[in-house]
Amino acid sequence: MSRGPSRLAMVAATLALPLLYFHRATFSSDVFIARDILLVYYPLKQYWAERVSQGEFPAWYPYDGLGQPLAGMLISGVFHPTNVLYLLLPLGVALKVIALGSYVSALGGTYRFARQWGLERGSALLSGITYALGGYLVGISNNLLYLMAAATFPWALWGAERFLHQPSARRAAAAALPLGLILLSGEPQSFALCCALVLVLVLLRPERASLPRAASRAVLLIVLAALLAAVQIAPVLGILGDSRPSASTLELATSFSFHPLRMLEFVLGPIFLNPETDAVASFAMADELFQTGMHSFWVNSVHVGAPALLLVGAALWAHRRRALAWTVAALALLVLALSMGRHLPLYGWLYRWMPVWNVFRYPEKLLPYFMFACALGAGAGLQAVLREPVLSRGLGRAAFVLASLCGLFALAEWRGRVFSHGVIGALWKTPRPDIQDILHGNVLLASVVAGVTLGVMGAVLLRVRAPAPLGWALVSLQLVILYLANGDVYQVTIPELLESPSHVVGTILEAEQDSGAVRPRVYGVAPELQEHEAIEGIAAIDIQSINMLDSLWPGTPALWHLESARPYLPVASWRAASLLGIQQAPLDLPPSRVLDLFGVKYVTVVAREYRRLNGEPDVILTEVPRFNELLLRNPLTLPRAYLATPVCVPDEGAARALLLSRSFTPGQQVVLECPPGPEHVEAPQSAGALGQVRFVRYAPEEVVLEVEATQPATLVLNDAYYSGWSATVDGRPASILPANVAVRGVRLTAGTHQVTFSFRAPGQRLGAIITLVTLGLLGLAMLVQGRQRAVGRASPAVPR
């Protein structure tokens, strides 16, 4: 390995190793699936592909929380170039290709950055394997945007490092494009941190005299990346006033904080229970012991591997007199401290004092940057070991010492259950003996495996002297231990589960065969599955998927073009979220005024609770005994559009109070937030006395209605009130007013009218122009620079 493997071998390894690692997903029809894939990405990407394949741009998403802008929804990744695959391939296949390609990208980007920092090919390959196939990236396969962002930022840092060293238009594009793609994938926090690291690369450069020039280059890259991503940034900024804040409190912002106790997983692997396959354990352990606040872990593994961590130690020892090594280590530990969120004060300080930081949430999202530093350290350690035989022998002896410590830990756990019952029992206020017993087995097995691995590593370091065999042995050992620890962390499901409707969805579709363009609105009140009956031949993760589909969990009804009133996606209107959020008391069980008001026609509830409260049996459409759920029909729901008598109020607070009061008559009255002026309250009319409403066209970005009003009234459209919507009445512009707090209202005079609602994402046109102009100028600069170099090469040398 002193000369290093060939470039062709590196390319082959970069392509083959991730695909072999994920053999279940690669060589079968199974698709990656877990909670977030099912609730977010599968529905969003299906919707995007359906609309674009019809020659339409999907600016509005009608299937969540009364509707919300798609272009302004970062997690939709609506402008990411990989979306083209959803047009060319079946949805499940496209998701699989993008997920698997992300691991190839992560390995390749880490390899290239390691090479840029002076590592030889074999050492750089170890860095790529450690990062791409480590526990975090394998565990985040259930959340596509974070996987894509983590797979992209190594390329952005590689490009930035090259541009800082020798700027050119081509190198500027190679750095700014992946940096912009991090944001286009939907991860603003990773984009912000990667931009900060581009500036850090300036400070890490040895040439202090060139720092101002390098800093200006770094700023240029960041600005260029932002301009390239303007098509996404502008729509996001355009809706900030309407969307609910994602991290409105420090408590919410620090959900999914990395617990210090899980640092043990760096060495031992995913010893704590997998929350996706054991929901009961998820609730009990994740919330009570680890305080994630979300009933589960962010990722099920953060395993780096004992060989890699020992090599990180070797790198620090070999470079102990270099300030660069300790600076990088300090930055990595800073990111690790930030990822701990609520368990350390650092994240809270940034949340309170640093502008913009308080819009970010879930500190554990920062972990891939720590893992990336560990991966680079492992590669640097391997290179140092191969160059210094004395270090190799010393590391071998250290490996045997650590192997002995793992053995002692395993013995203490076997004989006295020191960790599973001693440590965990002391930290967990209400420990579960059954979970502790499973944890005992996990810890015991992982400790033995880590001890054996370190023993093998020690023997290799002490017995193998030739650099090439030693290097390949250590790379292979790291690959094997990562596979043993994380090979089952990622989850796949059979695509048939997502290709046919569940029992509950099928019942609704059968009842709504003649519903036309206006699809029914549904709401899932049933809580997340905590226990279930085993189904022969179906894995636990698949049972949870079936439960989410049957429970009408938000996101899943969209797969069959049913609208979910329950807000889940991040840019749901704060008005709709405040009324329709699952925590709201009026939604505990139907009947509910809020459900009636906003056109919710079907509701799922917990069967035992509904019967305990003597719920009406006549509205039960079907039952799912396996999940203890009922599907109810709501006979009191209001239509999607109707005429009502306006009751003017000055603001949202007054509207909410009146809406939930006994003096308000749903269907006959509408609470309207009117412009400043004299208030008036018109007497409610008898049902049907105000006129008729008929849909002429009902599309996501355009709704056309014909109205026959017998007297002045307000047309209520039961879709979200949001910036970007405009209205015309008989071709003339009309004001849209907030109606019943969350939906749209237009005031009409008596007579026959055609009312048109149209949506244009705020800022989208300006953002698209900025992105296209930036791409054009960047391309032109590359072309001019390329021609200048060609001319320079072709010009004959001038004799002196």
CATH number at residue 693: 2.60.40
CA pair distance 465, 467, nearest whole angstrom: 6
Structure confidence at residue 607 (pLDDT) = 85
Phi-psi region for residue 671, left (φ > 0), alpha (ψ -120 to 50) or beta?
Answer: beta
Do you find a cis peptide bond into 567, omega within 30 degrees of 0? no
Check residue 639 and give its pLDDT.
93
Place of tokens 């949805």: 91
Give the Cβ contact number of residue 601 at 10 Å: 25
Q: Strand runs (DSSP E) across 533-574, as ranges?
A: 563-564
List the single range of 29-33, 145-149, 430-434, 472-476 with lowest mean pLDDT: 29-33
Residues 237 and 70: their CA atoms lie apart, in Å, by 13
Considering the domain architecture, whether residues 371 and 413 belong to the same structural domain is answered as no
Lookup: tokens for 145: 């945007």
Same domain, yes or no: 724 and 585: no
User: SS3 of 187, please?
Assistant: coil
Question: CA angle 35-40-42, nearest 5°?
Answer: 90
The verdict on 80 and 139 lying in the same domain is yes
| Among candidate residues 585, 615, 633, the one where a domain is terminated | 633
* pLDDT-based confidence at residue 588 (cuts at 50, 70, 90): very low
Structure confidence at residue 543 (pLDDT): 74
Q: Is residue 404 part of a domain?
A: yes
- What's the pLDDT tens digit per position in 478-493? 999 999 888 878 877 6
Asked if the structure places residue 321 within a domain, the reply is: yes
- pLDDT at residue 552 above 90? no
User: Per-residue pLDDT for 475 more than 90?
Assistant: yes
| End residue of a domain, out of 633, 659, 680 | 633
Residue 720 lies in a domain: yes
Output the pTM of the full model: 0.91
Residue 63 lies in a domain: no
Those residues with Cβ within 8 angstroms of residue 776's Cβ, 6 or more apart along the chain or in another chain: none
Q: Are residues 101 and 218 in the same domain?
A: yes
Beta-carbon contacts of residue 288 (< 8 Å; ≥ 6 apart)? 428, 429, 430
Alpha-carbon span 28 to 490, nearest angstrom: 14
Q: Kindly report the length of the chain.
A: 800
| Confidence (pLDDT) at 436 | 87
Q: What average pLDDT does the chain have?
A: 87
Residue-wise pLDDT for 39-61, tens only, equals 788 899 999 999 999 999 999 99
What backbone torsions phi and psi does residue 165 show, to the nearest 5 degrees? -75, -45
Q: How far apart are CA 463 and CA 470, in angstroms?
A: 9
Cβ partners under 8 Å of residue 659, min gap 6: 593, 597, 671, 740, 741
Amino acid identity of 273? L
The total of structural domains in the chain comes to 4
What are the distances in angstroms from CA 652 to CA 67, 234, 501, 573, 599?
Answer: 19, 27, 39, 13, 20
373: tokens are: 């530093």
Q: Which two tokens stand for residue 487?
A: 């090979």
Q: Residue 618 falls within a domain, yes or no?
A: yes
Q: Are residues 182 and 305 in the same domain?
A: yes
Do 629 and 647 lie in a common domain?
A: no
Q: Domain for residue 765, yes or no?
A: no
Query: Quick one: average pLDDT of 780-786?
Result: 88
Would you say 180 and 80 are in contact if contact means Cβ atoms under 8 Å apart? no
- Are residues 535 and 451 part of one domain? no
Mean pLDDT throughout 508-515?
84
Per-residue confidence at 583, pLDDT binned at 50, 70, 90?
A: very low
* Residue 31: per-residue pLDDT: 64
481 and 448 co-located in one domain: no
The pLDDT tens digits of the residues spanning 190-227 come to 999 999 999 999 988 777 657 888 899 999 999 999 99
Residues 369 and 406 in one domain: no
Mean pLDDT, range 760-786, rounded to an integer: 92
Picking from 602, 633, 664, the residue at the C-terminal end of a domain is 633
Distance CA 328, CA 340 (A): 19
Same domain? 114 vs 156: yes
User: Strand (E) positions, 635-687?
Assistant: 641-649, 669-673
DSSP state of 245: P
Q: What is the token pair recorded at 37?
A: 């894939």
Q: How many helices (H) and strands (E) does the chain have?
A: 33, 19
pLDDT digits (tens, 9 = 90+) for 98-131: 989 999 999 999 999 999 999 999 999 999 999 9
Please tell me the number of Cα atoms within 13 Å of 423 on its side-chain side: 13
Does pLDDT of 746 surpass 90? Answer: yes
Spell out the SS3 assignment of 199-228.
Answer: HHHHHCCCCHHHHHHHHHHHHHHHHHHHHH
Neighbours of 706 (CB within 10 A): 13
- Of all residues in the chain, the percent with pLDDT exceeding 90 is 59
Give ∠ CA 468-471-474 in degrees, rounded to 5.
150
d(CA 560, CA 602): 14
- 589: Cα within 13 Å, side-chain hemisphere: 16
Q: Which domain holds residue 344?
A: 28-56+75-387+464-492
Domain match, 699 and 683 both: yes
Residue 476 and residue 404 share a domain: no
DSSP 8-state code for residue 243: B
Residues 6 or more apart whose Cβ sits within 8 Å of residue 724? 59, 69, 238, 239, 759, 760, 761, 762
- What the block records as the tokens of 752 is 């026959």
> Does some domain include residue 787?
no
DSSP secondary structure letter of residue 304: -
Residue 414 lies in a domain: yes
Bridge partners, residue 566, by sequence: none
